[in-house]
Structure 1
């Protein structure tokens, strides 16, 4: 009797147990292969200016992918979930936080980077890290902490983000911070005073010499503006602080609102708002890609050094930039200066100033890690402690210090 197995397809036969198995070869692409598609003016991992502390090259990923992964796994990144943009964390679960904002920035920035053939991993790392140093309670918290630190060097959230990744994170045995690449750290540092730029050495040189950061850093910067302007419109409408009637004054909104109603006459409410906002975002992204592509063609950079020496290359067209500026001014007047937002901002200032004053008066109220041996260093440690708080933790600390029946 013949073996019926011989009539089966080859891949259906039982394995030959007498034959030694050979594991399939795993082919790990080189860094050059992973970045072979990049334009010559993009930032390449193999040409990075390196890290503050030398490390062996990563396996199966690029240096910028390693940076992104370190940022995502950091403590400061997780805290962004409970730090807010405009609305304080306890005001509602559906409003944007610094975490969701950072994810939206990264998504927009990667789309732009892909179309311009620049480094998506670097632009993502910068986008995810750009708000790590933000205080609780948004801009009100930052402005108050800057005022508290006026006599001690001030407070800038960009510098604080750099301090987080350079020194404050505690994940590795060999060094403080995350030991990110120069290019990632450069992109995080969006603004910097000349005084601080001198103190930062190589990282601050571009602010002194009038040079630009990488294309990737410029993209992350504009993606940040696209994200927060549009999600503030969405959150403003959801909260009831803004109305459709008010927004009809803004050309960028009204054009897309009418187009959405024309294409879908049956939709209304939140669906209509989302349809309008997504169209605005798409217009801004496409215009940014097209205008930047023309800028690149005009200036013809052939290296990252050429990008640094050129004027800003990532930009909107004049028409769209004017429309985006009009939307930004509208939000400042009607949302950020709304009396309900101002009331919460006033409370936030009281909390931040109260915490700073209490810790300054008696540093023993601080956790031991933030008690300085040198009195001159104490204010900066207090700023680090407060800046690292989430909205709800700051409120809890305030109650602990000033409410008698609280624990």
Structure 2
């Protein structure tokens, strides 16, 4: 397939037809609107913090495991390939992928689950909503507006999931959840590229950490098939190269299926433009039924053998202890927060009562890296640690 850039399809999102930004700005002189979004995301404080936020393994457990930052870059790389093949907006896809985890807590999903439980009486916590909150409100870089002032299309793609109650509070990006509409094809690609990346790269990290074995993984058809091909082609290959070769072929297999299946679905639907995509009854980006079943089977295998491994569960238990300890202490005594966050807690409590104070505490905790959360916990609870 030709890899050179081609003209965008009629149903692709485009800079010229963007729904714009929350705060009006002059158009950029030497780049497109979505390129400006991508650049602002890369330069944000929240993006830099991702290098010290857990994917599966806590940062200090090893230098070679994925972090939220490397995961986001890998998602963007996969998504760009798909977007280019389908003549969709590669730059918009990249911006969405690089921003999708900006609101994630320290300690991965364990941290999110713990913070959501702490926030249960105050509106809950969900990292997609928090990522939107980061780019809309929490980043402090520009004199003219809060947040990064990204385009509607990038913000729409960041918000993968949303309850009806939350959607009512989010204005333009919440409307599709109320109307039961689809997001752009670029947003749909970002969503599935995320799944492809964490499935295959968590497998790689699980093998590196010796939570998985080749023998276990051969129970999974999508792995066994590629493993057999690699061994037949390279019988003397080293273990490390074997694993890498199998993983790259697995990614290529599901990405190729996604491109071919989505191309057929788009061709059949023949949407006139991006708005027709949004009004379509179903998503147009997806796997074939056979590959989707294999993809889910791998996901279940990782859940049973990696995410529920006792070593990972021990980490998640520690993460829960740290997050809950931080939240309970700062919520009860917000004066213990750093000055800037204590002021935010006072202001938000004045506006929304306990829910406002809780949200300010959640903002502070969600912005932490793994190691900063651990240090902050020690400052609060270890008498020998300097405050």
TM-score over 0.5 for the pair: yes
The equivalent residue for 1:228 is 198
The equivalent residue for 1:255 is 225
Determine helix, strand or coil for the equivalent of 1:46. Answer: coil
The equivalent residue for 2:113 is 143
The equivalent residue for 1:5 is none
Counterpart CA distance in 2 for 1:397 and 1:269 is: 40
The 1:36/1:248 distance shift into structure 2, 3 A limit, reads closer
The 1:36/1:108 distance shift into structure 2, 3 A limit, reads closer
Determine if contact 2:10/2:273 at 8 Å carries over to the other structure: yes
Determine helix, strand or coil for the equivalent of 1:45. Answer: coil
Deviations 1:67-118 (A, max 9, x none): 0000000000000000011111111110000000000000000000000001
The equivalent residue for 1:241 is 211
The equivalent residue for 1:71 is 41
The equivalent residue for 1:367 is 338
Shift of 1:238: 0.1
Counterpart CA distance in 1 for 2:101 and 2:379 is: 27
Residue 298 of structure 1, aligned match among 268, 273, 282? 268
Say whether residues 1:214 and 2:193 are aligned partners: no
The equivalent residue for 1:356 is 327
Counterpart CA distance in 1 for 2:244 and 2:174 is: 40
Shift of 1:201: 2.0
The equivalent residue for 1:326 is 297
Matches within 5 A, 1:99-138: 99-138=69-108
TM-score (norm 2): 0.95
Unpaired segments ≥5 residues, structure 1: 1-34
Shift of 1:59: 0.8
Residue 266 of structure 1, aligned match among 236, 246, 249? 236
Deviations 1:349-386 (A, max 9, x none): 00000000110121111012222222532110000000
Counterpart CA distance in 2 for 1:360 and 1:265 is: 59
Q: Give the number of aligned pairs.
A: 373
The structure number with the bigger radius of gyration is 1
Deviations 1:138-188 (A, max 9, x none): 000000000000111000100000000000001100011000000000000
Say whether residues 1:58 and 2:28 are aligned partners: yes
The equivalent residue for 1:22 is none
Shift of 1:36: 7.8
**Which aligned runs of 4 or more in structure 1 are off by greater than 6 angstroms?**
none
Counterpart CA distance in 2 for 1:278 and 1:36 is: 25
Determine if contact 2:6/2:87 at 8 Å carries over to the other structure: no
